[in-house]
């Protein structure tokens, strides 16, 4: 199908972009989710505000110990960035699962977050990492914690006049290792279910653990009860199995075309165990 007609504005500054946003307008970043939706006519905006040429593409670390990503950083640029690989390898590994290279060449980190697909990798990674999102509107700037951001399938805390400009991720302490386990129908498709973990070990004991699950609830979720089970304990097969069961219990999956709910819940346990095993392996 072909998109319905719309007006088009190529924004040359952030101010120009936020000035044009509002009801009836939609942000176009990499277009990897939006253009298909326009072609299918499931979205029919009056105005498309193309922000893809705005210079919000820096990747760096801040003095306060965060990784900072401009919202318009292309997925492929983040994936191949030495800074991301060094500071947040969980994100670097998760990025290799997001779509095919041709999709990652154009899709942006901010677009993936704003699109808020419950099965998408990056929202879950940012949730696991306690990331903070920065949004600009005509009224000014505000920050939103990842934990408050995802409200439902494709629903976020962003208002119609807001543009996501940056993502800040606190850097994990030394001794932190990660695990990624994903089930998808073909390599690089959206996850049926996926689990992202980050485990900090100190003297053989879990000092901190984060577990986020994609594809098993209307939004990505944190498996807090599973994290609590791990904290303060030495990892053992029984402990990981208990944490995996606790993660599965935290899910709220739906039946759909790709998998029944019970399968998604069972797979959450399997994938959690795998992701944790990867994280605590020598």
Partner 1 sequence: MKVSLTVNGRTCSADCEPRRTLADFLRHDLGFTGVRVGCEHGACGSCTVLVDGATARACCVLAVQADGSDVTTAEGLATTSLNPLQESFRRHHALQCGFCTPGMLAVATELLRENPSPTEAEIRTAIAGNLCRCTGYHNIVAAIAAMREPNRDDEPSAGDAGASVAGNPGRTDP
Ligand X SMILES: Cc1cc2nc3c(=O)[nH]c(=O)nc-3n(C[C@H](O)[C@H](O)[C@@H](O)COP(=O)(O)OP(=O)(O)OC[C@H]3O[C@@H](n4cnc5c(N)ncnc54)[C@H](O)[C@@H]3O)c2cc1C
Contacted by 110, from ligand X, partner 1, none: CB < 5 to 8 Å by type:
ligand X
If the CB atoms of residues 47 and 239 are measured against partner 1, the closer one turns out to be: 47
Contacted by 117, from partner 1, ligand X, none: CB < 5 to 8 Å by type:
ligand X
Task: Report in angstroms how near the CB of residue 75 gets to ligand X at its nearest.
Answer: 6
- What are the residues whose beta carbons fall under 8 Å from the beta carbon of 120, sequence distance 6 or more? 98, 112, 190, 191, 214, 220
If the CB atoms of residues 62 and 102 are measured against ligand X, the closer one turns out to be: 102
Binding to ligand X (CB under 6 A) within 52-71 occurs at 71
* 194 touches ligand X (CB under 6 A): no
Q: Report the relative pairing of strands 47-50 and 7-10 from DSSP bridges.
A: parallel
Task: Report in angstroms how near the CB of residue 111 gets to ligand X at its nearest.
Answer: 2
* 90 touches ligand X (CB under 6 A): no
If the CB atoms of residues 98 and 240 are measured against partner 1, the closer one turns out to be: 98
* 181 touches ligand X (CB under 6 A): no
Q: H helices of the chain, where?
A: 14-20, 34-39, 75-79, 82-87, 89-95, 101-104, 109-115, 121-128, 146-149, 224-230, 237-249, 261-280
Contacted by 48, from ligand X, partner 1, none: CB < 5 to 8 Å by type:
partner 1
Task: Look up residue 224 and give its two tokens.
Answer: 């807090």
Q: Report the relative pairing of strands 163-170 and 132-137 from DSSP bridges.
A: antiparallel
Residue numbers at the binding site for partner 1 (CB under 8 A): 1-8, 10, 28, 31-32, 35-36, 38-40, 48, 50, 52, 76, 99-103, 105-106, 186-188
Query: Among 100, 145, 150, 160, which residue's Cα sits nearest to residue 123?
Result: 150
Kindly tell me the number of DSSP H helices and DSSP E strands found in the chain: 12, 14
* 96 touches ligand X (CB under 6 A): no
Q: Which stretch binds ligand X (CB under 6 A): 28-36, 87-95, 229-237, 262-270?
A: 28-36
Dihedral sign for Cα atoms in the order 17, 53, 115, 272 = negative
The torsion angles phi and psi of 152, rounded to 5 degrees, stand at 170, 180
Interface with ligand X by CB under 6 A: which residues?
26-34, 36, 71, 75, 98-99, 103, 107-108, 110-112, 114-115, 117, 120-121, 158, 163-164, 188-190
């Amino acid at each position: 199908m072909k998109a319905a007609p719309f007006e088009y504005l190529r924004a040359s500054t952030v101010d120009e972009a936020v000035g044009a946003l509002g009801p009836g307008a939609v942000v176009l970043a990499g277009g990897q989710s939006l253009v298909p939706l326009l072609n299918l006519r499931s979205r029919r905006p009056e105005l498309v505000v193309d922000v893809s040429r705005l210079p919000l593409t820096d990747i760096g670390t801040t003095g306060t110990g965060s990784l900072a990503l401009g919202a318009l950083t292309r997925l492929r640029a983040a994936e191949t960035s030495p800074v991301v690989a060094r500071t947040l390898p969980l994100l670097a590994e998760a990025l290799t699962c997001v779509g095919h290279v041709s999709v990652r060449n154009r899709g942006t980190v901010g677009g993936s977050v704003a699109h808020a697909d419950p099965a998408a990798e990056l929202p879950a990674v940012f949730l696991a990492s306690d990331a903070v999102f920065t949004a600009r509107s005509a009224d000014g700037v505000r920050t939103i914690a990842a934990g408050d951001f995802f409200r439902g399938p494709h629903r976020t805390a962003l208002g119609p006049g807001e543009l996501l400009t940056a993502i800040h991720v606190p850097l994990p302490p030394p001794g932190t290792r990660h695990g990624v386990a994903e089930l998808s129908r073909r390599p690089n498709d959206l996850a049926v279910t996926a689990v992202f973990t980050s485990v900090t070990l100190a003297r053989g004991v879990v000092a901190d653990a984060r577990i986020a699950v994609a594809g098993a609830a209307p939004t990505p979720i944190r498996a807090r009860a599973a994290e609590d089970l791990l904290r303060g304990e030495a990892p053992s097969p029984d402990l990981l199995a208990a944490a995996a069961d606790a993660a599965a219990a935290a899910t709220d999956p739906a039946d759909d075309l790709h998998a029944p709910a019970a399968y998604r819940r069972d797979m959450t346990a399997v994938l959690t165990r795998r992701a944790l095993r990867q994280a605590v392996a020598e």
